[in-house]
Structure 1
Amino acid sequence: MKLSQEEAHQVMQVCLLAGKIMLMGGAETYRVEDTMSRIAAACGISGSHSFVTPTAIIFSLDGAELTKLIRISNRSTDLRKVDQVNSISRKISNRTLTLREAYDQLKKIEKEEEAYPLWLQLLAASIASGCFVIIFLGGWADFLPACIVGGLGFLSTLYVHHFVKVRFFAEFVASLVIGITAYGLVQVGIGRELDKIIIGSVMPLVPGLAITNALRDLMAGHLFSGVSKGAEAFLTSFAIGAGIAIILTIF
């Protein structure tokens, strides 16, 4: 299908914006490529080509001498946005949404702030830390200390990352905070089992989504993205472990 430059540009804008939002929201590489291809196919373009990595998207259309690349600098976990983009993609395929309307909705999704306020994220991380202590066969006496330590660790990650845009450094500092706080609570008699408190408190920092996406990309044949995400997950885990190891070595 031969497209005019204006039509090709519009299709490409929608595809790239959809891919960008999904990748920044924590979607798998193959899911991003599939969504972009489906949107292009719904617009009557049978041949579209995309190359997606954790940090960049390259996209081109058959019948249009147009190729674009966008960089992805920040990635987080926001599966709500991924679901919203999937919904828009389905509406485009069902012909219930025009490209212009889809683009406007995608821009609105892109500008949205985080789905949950900071206090709710902090509360969830704290309660999750306490629950993980129980899951790992800890005592109820360590539930509240783990909630406190896990909340402080999660808050430290957000605070440090706000000033230093190096994710591994933020998680390393957070693990130091977790180790010091947990040790202090045990020393004053508030907590009992240091190991259980630390294990439960670091769980909100563990890159579970990155590990899952790396495995799913590898199984889907996206070796480059799978290895890249696996390396990112490994470095994050190493940063967390190194911080805790330093504290346990000192004390």
Structure 2
Amino acid sequence: MTAMATRPKKQVSVINACLLAGRILIENGSEMTRVIDTMQRIAHNAGIDSAQMFVTVTGIVVSLDDTPNAQVTSIERRTIDLGKVARVNELSREFAEQKLSLGMLIKRLQRIDNDIHTFPFWIRLFAASLLSAVLLIVFTQDYIDAPTGFVIGGIGYSVFYFFNRQFKVQFLSEFVASLTIGILAAIAVRVHLGVYIDNIIIGSIMPLVPGVPITNAVRDLVSGNLISGPARAVEALLSSVAIGSAIVCVLHFV
């Protein structure tokens, strides 16, 4: 008989719930402190007094008392969907208040995990375009180029979204999207649809800037996660280098 078969059914369910909740949180942009806290709360509210958890940006290990083996799940993708993070936290609170059984918690977590995105693409596209225009004005006080930034920012985000969906290489997707933004900004200024190429580029690349990974890296470092913090910092740095390199390539030939 395998080790898993000898475990009490409840402990198996608790481990599954913790691993699933933790994986969803990490894959969708949560900081490690929140991940560990949510998993520990699920285990505690399920009646487990002591649970050991080791969490990184690439995997999770969970072990409970009186269980012969730890269980592991890998993190295969990472994106930003804070809507899913909020939904997992809400389920954790409902479970703590005994509004959900352990079985219902797992089913609801699986439903969140199977959802493609909290928001459809058209909403994300509009948000990226609006962010580009607004931040162009905030950073440069240039109202004239805001409409151009709105359009180019949306196109750049679309290129990133579909290229990343096709090839699943985030850094390459950011490079191609930034290259597209730089070329379109140069064309817009050349045909007099824009005035300042620098301002248009600054606003349009903002949806691609890894703001959440940088914030999470700092929070992980401050909270003592000396593996996840540097790993996320390097990931954010690579994204920044990909974006900057593409813009430098465009400006070199303009």
Matched, 1:183 2:182: no
For 1:35, the aligned partner's letter is T
Among 43, 67, 74, the residue aligned to 2:46 = 43
Q: Which residue of structure 1 lines up, in the alignment, with residue 140 of structure 2?
A: 137
Matched, 1:13 2:13: no
Higher deviation after alignment, 196-205 or 58-67: 58-67
State the 1:4 CA deviation.
4.6
Matched, 1:69 2:72: yes
Stretches of 4+ aligned residues off by more than 3 angstroms: none
Q: Which residue of structure 2 lines up, in the alignment, with residue 218 of structure 1?
A: 221
- 1: distance between equivalents of 2:176 and 2:165? 13
State the 1:249 CA deviation.
0.6
Tell me the SS of whatever aligns to 2:54. Answer: strand
- 2: distance between equivalents of 1:80 and 1:66? 33
Among 246, 249, 252, the residue aligned to 1:246 = 249
For 1:160, the aligned partner's letter is F
State the 1:227 CA deviation.
0.3
- Would the aligned equivalents of 1:19 and 1:35 in 2 still touch at CA under 8 Å? yes
- Would the aligned equivalents of 1:138 and 1:193 in 2 still touch at CA under 8 Å? no
Equivalent residues in 2 for 1:104-183, closer than 5 Å: 104-183=107-186
1:216-246 Cα shifts (integer Å, max 9, x gaps): 0111100100000000000000000000000
- 2: distance between equivalents of 1:64 and 1:96? 27
TM-score (norm 2): 0.95
- 1: distance between equivalents of 2:251 and 2:207? 20
Q: Which residue of structure 2 lines up, in the alignment, with residue 90 of structure 1?
A: 93
1:18-43 Cα shifts (integer Å, max 9, x gaps): 11111111111121111111111112
- 2: distance between equivalents of 1:207 and 1:37? 28
Among 59, 64, 70, the residue aligned to 2:62 = 59
State the 1:5 CA deviation.
2.5
- C-alpha RMSD of matched pairs (Å): 1.2
1:144-184 Cα shifts (integer Å, max 9, x gaps): 11111111110110121122111000000011000000000
State the 1:6 CA deviation.
1.5
Tell me the SS of whatever aligns to 2:21. Answer: helix
Report % sequence identity: 41
State the 1:7 CA deviation.
1.6
1:49-106 Cα shifts (integer Å, max 9, x gaps): 1111111111111122231111111111111111111111122222222101111111
State the 1:138 CA deviation.
3.5
For 1:238, the aligned partner's letter is V
- 2: distance between equivalents of 1:138 and 1:189? 19
Tell me the matched-pair count. 249
Among 229, 234, 248, the residue aligned to 2:237 = 234
Q: Which residue of structure 1 lines up, in the alignment, with residue 3 of structure 2?
A: none
- 2: distance between equivalents of 1:138 and 1:183? 20
Tell me the SS of whatever aligns to 2:71. Answer: strand
